[in-house]
Amino acid sequence: MIFITETPTTGAKRLAVKDNICVKGVPATAGSRILEGFVPPYSATAYERLEQVGWSLCGKTNMDEFGMGSTGETSAFGATRNPVDATRVAGGSSSGSAAAVAQGLCEAALGSDTGGSIRQPASYCGVTGFKPSYGTVSRYGLIAYASSLDQIGPIAKTAQTCFEVFRDMCGADARDMTSCALAEDFLPTQLEGRVKGLRIGMPRECFGAGLDAQVEAAVRSTAQRLQALGAEVVECSMPSFSAAVAAYYILACAEASSNLARYDGVRYGHRSAAAESVTEMYVNTRSEGFGSEVQRRILLGSFVLSSGYYDAYYKKAAAVRAVIRRDFAQLFAQCDLLLMPTAPTVAPKLRESLQDRLAMYQADLYTVPMNLAGLPAISMPCGKNSAGLPIGAQLVGGYLQDARVLDAAHGFQCAYGWEGMGR
């Protein structure tokens, strides 16, 4: 299923909103049973700003529970199938949002990206998904997974539409202390599609083992096509890349274990019926309400924060994060943008990924570093494989270089079409 809650609407600006982004008066589930019955009395700032410029809600979309998943299969409401091939996953965690755009059910959708949850489903469904620089879009009203990594972002067919949505919802918010304004020269009113003169780096660590051959070919072809538009493409290196997935899972799960502790059945949502004490109520409510992936990550997160393990895991992961930030900064001193695949494969078959969770986590390797460093990144369709399944190429910019990223993608799409099929 694509929509958890449908709110049929007409007009040319239909907006599908991921069900972890609150809209006042509309049930919000975050893909979980534990929020059964919860209707937020407030809207996310990002949604309010878009509503003000004429977007109207067409539905709340399905997602991996609390954003924890890369296939759309951990939703308590059932998996979201890929519109291109119904035997395959739509990706995650913004599964419904990407599928809704791909299926033409809306002109744009909002997703959230903590470790790739906008970009990866966009690449699997063959649409464009943009993760903004951390802080540029208010997180007020976004049901938190990992506070220092989460960002709300747009999914649409084109980078142009993504830009318009981003432009209209970004900016400092008094309700979010981690939000910031984009200075005037960092946020143009229009995109130009300028690719000529850009120096684009391709980190060699992103083209190694585990990368599907056809995906690699499509991304390398994207590099050539960008060159044809006047960009300079160079090879570069980012050694700390290999540590990113481990650091990400430690930090994200740690923050999640704390962010999800408030779901206890006391004030809203599901409350277990049979309980003789408060502790029993907490335990039963959470055991009944959370799916297994969420429980797994809460346990992992609690462990890495616990006394005796904090230094070895959490603190160390935070140090790795600082190294990744520094390495990116060095790269962006040499390059304007980076180019790499969004995911190592095309959309897997349903249930395939759940066989080996560690492998599923490892597949996030191209997307999590940008969350750790708070960088803007876009996934744009760059071709299809021999089975007709979409492939996504990812462009990454330096911190607050959101316009540059969107503009380059726009330039590519103007020349080669929004599906990136042009030669």
Partner 1 sequence: MKQYEIVIGLETHVELATESKIFCGCSTQFGAEPNTQCCPVCTGMPGVLPVLNERVVELAVRAGLALGCSINLENRFDRKNYFYPDLPKAYQISQLYAPICVNGQVQIGEKTIGIHEIHMEEDAAGLYHDPFLEQTRVDYNRCGVPLIEIVTEPDFRSAAEVVAYLERLKERLVYLGVSDCKMQEGSLRVDVNLSVRAMGAAEYGTRTEMKNLNSFKAIARAIEVEARRQIERLEAGERVIQETRRWDENKDMSYSMRSKEDAQDYRYFPEPDLSVIHLNKAYVDALAASQAELAEEKRARYVAQWGLTEYDAVTITAERAVCQFFEEAVALGAPPKECANWVMGQVLRRRKEEGAVEVALAPQALVRILQLLDAGKINRGAAVVVFDAVYLGGDVDEVIAQQGLEQVNDDAFVRGCIAEMLQEQAAALAQYRAGEEKVFGFLIGQVMKKTKGKAAPEHVTRLLKETISALQ
Instruction: Output the smallest distance, CB 87 to partner 1, in A.
Output: 34
Instruction: Output the smallest distance, CB 202 to partner 1, in A.
Output: 32
> Could you tell me where the beta strands, DSSP code E, fall in 354-418?
377-384, 390-397
Active-site residue, 97 included: no
Instruction: Output the smallest distance, CB 299 to partner 1, in A.
Output: 12
Which of 58, 101, 118, 254: binder of partner 1 (CB under 8 A)? 254
* Interface with partner 1, residue 23, by CB under 8 A: no
Instruction: Output the smallest distance, CB 42 to partner 1, in A.
Output: 6
Active-site residue, 316 included: no
* Interface with partner 1, residue 207, by CB under 8 A: no
Instruction: Output the smallest distance, CB 255 to partner 1, in A.
Output: 6
- Residue with the two structure tokens 């993760």: 131
Q: Measured from the CB atom, is 186 or 268 closer to partner 1?
A: 268
Widest CA span in the chain: 70
Polymer length of the chain: 423
Dihedral angle computed from the Cα positions of residues 81, 85, 88 and 91, in that order, rounded to the nearest 10 degrees = -60
Instruction: Output the smallest distance, CB 144 to partner 1, in A.
Output: 7
Rounded to a whole number, what is the distance in angstroms from the first to the last CA of the chain?
35
* Interface with partner 1, residue 137, by CB under 8 A: no
Backbone angles phi, psi at 394, to 5 degrees: -115, 130
Q: Do residues 295 and 257 make contact, with C-beta atoms less than 8 angstroms apart?
A: no
What distance lies between CA 70 and its chain's CA centroid? 10
Q: Measured from the CB atom, is 59 or 374 closer to partner 1?
A: 374
Active-site residue, 117 included: yes
Q: Is the dihedral of CA 354, 264, 117, 97 positive or negative?
A: positive
Which of 16, 31, 38, 124: binder of partner 1 (CB under 8 A)? 38
Instruction: Output the smallest distance, CB 322 to partner 1, in A.
Output: 13
Interaction residues for partner 1, span 76-135 (CB under 8 A)? none
DSSP state of 319: H
Q: Using CB under 8 A, which of the segments 52-60, 146-154, 185-193, 388-396 binds partner 1?
A: 146-154
Peptide bond into 93 cis (omega under 30): yes
Interaction residues for partner 1, span 42-81 (CB under 8 A)? 42, 44
Which of 261, 299, 322, 359: binder of partner 1 (CB under 8 A)? 261
Backbone angles phi, psi at 204, to 5 degrees: -65, -25
Which of 306, 312, 326, 357: binder of partner 1 (CB under 8 A)? 306
Q: Measured from the CB atom, is 35 or 377 closer to partner 1?
A: 35
DSSP state of 242: G
Which of 186, 268, 361, 399: binder of partner 1 (CB under 8 A)? 268
DSSP state of 5: E
* Interface with partner 1, residue 418, by CB under 8 A: no
Q: Measured from the CB atom, is 127 or 143 closer to partner 1?
A: 143
- What is the DSSP secondary-structure string of 176-215? BTT--PPPGGGS-SS-----TT-EEEEEGGGGSTT--HHH
Which of 115, 121, 141, 397: binder of partner 1 (CB under 8 A)? 141
Q: How far apart are CA 155 and CA 121, in angstroms?
A: 9
- Residue with the two structure tokens 């180019």: 339
For residue 17 the two structure tokens come to: 């909103």
Q: How far apart are CA 329 and CA 177, in angstroms?
A: 24
Annotated catalytic sites, by residue? 18, 93, 117
Contact footprint for partner 1 (CB under 8 A)? 20-22, 28, 30, 35, 38, 40-42, 44, 139-144, 146-148, 174-178, 254-255, 257-258, 261-264, 266-268, 278-279, 282, 302, 305-307, 310, 314
